[in-house]
């Protein structure tokens, strides 16, 4: 396995004297490939700069055993194959010889792949790209994106002849200086042909345009993207600020719930809404504040910090393009703290929860608030040991606040109580699920790695009882 966790070899393929190399440095030269491969045998042919990012290549050995020798060596070596310090991934090719040294990027087509060097996304607007390339003929569509090679664009012309004329005139040239922002000194165009023939543009925006379809829906970013990016004091492009933060959470050794996030982020101001979701195998969250200044303070204070001691649940924060989140008022993945009426929260159905089930009653349970006399049948309120909370009773729609949760600074906030006292995440070495709360690892924010409110210890309900809320 490579250091990135990505398999470096594919053993399921039939061995071939042609090897496929991936993740090469930009514009890797043939001499660099030969230098990497020649210790294993004679190289008879190579094919460099393959793929849209020009970071793949094929190497053909004179003999099959030489190719097998190279694959076997790096499969058992603790040091991966590298070119310019980058790990190179090696596999057998499904071809048995290299018959054409001509890169697909050199085969003429009606769509150009343009790499704009020396700029970042947003420095060169899609209107500037259209102005430059439309000088050679009608531009049908443009799509811009960011890859490892940098800021790139796909530009579709009517035919290959028009595209070839634009490529021959603009390749290795620069965009005129007066069309660029002041902080960009120069930018160079590297142009090749794309394998695409017809781009699929779903809407007009600052990232994509279809000049053949005036009825295509317009994304609001098409207007926002026209403005030049703001610059910071150092002259570098400044990230657009927002009142909504996007939090990416690394090293998730403990559960991170809505209540945990609310406790962390409300220390810097009123949190209005929270939404948790999974993207690309990573837990992320959106946290909405009333204004940009509060979000900026929270981002500055929390960026790179860990929720729990020991480097667990590390936060990486950026500004979101959202300004007002549309979330369910109360669920295990989202919360809307702007709803002041507790009955609205209590009336919301929770997925998988019957309308009014009998709830598991802790014999040591008691009211959430000292002195609360709302108990069944007028019985005397039971008492709890310190730190424990009453089970949630869905039949109590009024008369008491139905949820025990982390405290909030938001006016009219219906949640109150202490941080829950049961851990659901992996138990640290040397401890057990029955470890006293005083011994549970505390967070760098001042609370313990615990489960959401109303989760019964053991993650199971007593026989004959309905599923307890929170499982």
Domains of the chain (ranges, CATH numbers): 18-92 (3.30.70.330), 104-224 (3.30.70.330)
Token pair, residue 416, equals 């109150």
| DSSP output for 23-61 | SPPTT--HHHHHHHHGGGS-EEEEEEEETTTT-EEEEEE
- pLDDT category at 102 given cuts 50, 70, 90 is low
- What integer pLDDT is reported at residue 118 of this predicted model? 82
- pLDDT category at 151 given cuts 50, 70, 90 is confident
3-class DSSP assignment, residue 104:
helix
Strand-pairing partners, residue 284, are 248, 277
- What integer pLDDT is reported at residue 444 of this predicted model? 54
Q: H or E element: which one contains 16? A: none
Q: Which residues contact residue 181 at a Cβ distance below 8 angstroms, ignoring those fewer than 6 apart?
A: 123, 228, 229
* Most confident option among 257-266, 279-288, 454-463: 257-266
Chain centroid, CA 180 distance in Å? 30
Residue 78 has pLDDT above 80, yes or no: yes
Strand 56-61 versus strand 43-50 pairing type: antiparallel
- What integer pLDDT is reported at residue 281 of this predicted model? 77
- pLDDT category at 376 given cuts 50, 70, 90 is very low
Backbone angles phi, psi at 73, to 5 degrees: -60, -50
DSSP type of residue 468? P
Residue 464 has pLDDT above 70, yes or no: no
* Cα(260)–Cα(262) distance, integer angstroms: 5
Among 51-65, 190-204, 336-350, 436-450, name the one with the lowest average pLDDT.
436-450
pLDDT in tens, 315-358: 999 888 888 888 887 888 899 998 865 555 445 554 444 444 43
- pLDDT category at 95 given cuts 50, 70, 90 is confident
- What integer pLDDT is reported at residue 445 of this predicted model? 56
Give the mean pLDDT of 119-143. Answer: 90
pLDDT in tens, 221-254: 555 444 445 555 555 556 678 899 999 998 888 8
Chain centroid, CA 449 distance in Å? 23
Give the mean pLDDT of 272-291. Answer: 90
Q: Which residue has the higher pLDDT, 107 or 102?
A: 107
* Residue environment code for 247-267, b if the CB has 16+ CB neighbours within 10 A, otherwise e: bebeebbbbbbbbbbbbbbbe
Q: H or E element: which one contains 211? A: none
Residue 8 has pLDDT above 80, yes or no: no
- pLDDT category at 32 given cuts 50, 70, 90 is confident
Token pair, residue 123, equals 């420095």
- pLDDT category at 282 given cuts 50, 70, 90 is confident
Give the mean pLDDT of 4-11. Answer: 48
Among 31-35, 86-90, 155-159, 371-375, name the one with the lowest average pLDDT.
371-375
- Taken as a whole, the chain contains a residue count of 471
- pLDDT category at 401 given cuts 50, 70, 90 is very low
| DSSP output for 123-159 | TS-HHHHHHHHGGGS-EEEEEEEEETTEEEEEEEESS
Cα dist. 103→56, 283, 427 in Å? 11, 40, 54
């Amino acid at each position: 396995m490579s250091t990135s966790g990505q398999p470096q070899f594919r053993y399921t393929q039939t061995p071939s004297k042609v090897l496929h190399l991936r993740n090469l440095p930009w514009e890797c030269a043939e001499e660099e490939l030969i230098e990497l491969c020649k210790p294993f045998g004679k190289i008879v042919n190579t094919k460099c700069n393959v793929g849209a990012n020009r970071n793949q290549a094929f190497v053909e050995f004179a003999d099959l055993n030489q190719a097998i020798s190279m694959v076997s060596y790096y499969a058992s070596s603790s040091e991966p194959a590298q070119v310019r310090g980058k790990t190179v991934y090696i596999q057998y090719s499904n071809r048995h010889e290299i018959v054409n040294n001509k890169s697909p990027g050199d085969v003429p087509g009606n769509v150009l792949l343009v790499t704009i060097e020396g700029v970042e996304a947003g420095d060169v607007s899609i209107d500037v790209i259209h102005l430059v390339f439309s000088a050679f003929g009608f531009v049908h569509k443009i799509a811009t994106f960011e890859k490892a090679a940098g800021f790139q664009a796909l530009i579709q012309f009517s035919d290959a002849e028009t595209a070839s004329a634009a490529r021959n005139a603009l390749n290795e040239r620069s965009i005129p200086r007066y069309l660029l922002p002041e902080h960009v000194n120069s930018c160079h165009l590297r142009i090749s042909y794309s394998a695409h023939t017809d781009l699929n543009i779903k809407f007009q925006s600052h990232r994509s345009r279809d000049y053949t379809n005036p009825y295509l829906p317009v994304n609001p970013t098409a207007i926002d993207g026209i403005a030049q990016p703001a610059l910071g004091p150092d002259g570098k492009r400044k990230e657009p600020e927002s009142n909504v933060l996007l939090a990416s959470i690394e090293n998730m050794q403990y559960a991170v719930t809505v209540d945990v996030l609310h406790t962390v982020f409300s220390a810097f101001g009123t949190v209005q809404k929270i939404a948790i979701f999974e993207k690309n195998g990573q837990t992320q969250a959106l946290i909405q504040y009333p204004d940009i200044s509060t979000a900026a303070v929270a981002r500055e204070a929390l960026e790179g910090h860990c929720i729990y001691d020991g480097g667990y649940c590390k936060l990486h924060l950026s500004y979101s393009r959202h300004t007002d989140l549309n979330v369910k008022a109360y669920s295990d993945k989202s919360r809307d703290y702007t709803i002041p009426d507790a009955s609205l929260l209590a009336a919301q159905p929770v997925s998988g929860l019957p309308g009014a089930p009998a709830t598991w009653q802790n014999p040591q349970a008691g009211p959430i608030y000292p002195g609360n006399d709302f108990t069944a049948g007028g019985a005397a309120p039971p008492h709890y040991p310190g730190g424990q909370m009453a089970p949630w009773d869905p039949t109590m729609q009024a008369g008491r606040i139905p949820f025990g949760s982390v405290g909030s600074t938001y006016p009219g906030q219906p949640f109150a109580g202490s941080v829950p006292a049961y851990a659901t995440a992996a138990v640290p070495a040397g401890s057990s699920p029955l470890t006293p709360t005083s011994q549970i690892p505390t967070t760098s924010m001042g609370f313990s790695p615990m489960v959401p409110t109303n989760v019964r210890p053991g993650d199971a309900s007593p026989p004959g009882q309905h599923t307890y809320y929170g499982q």
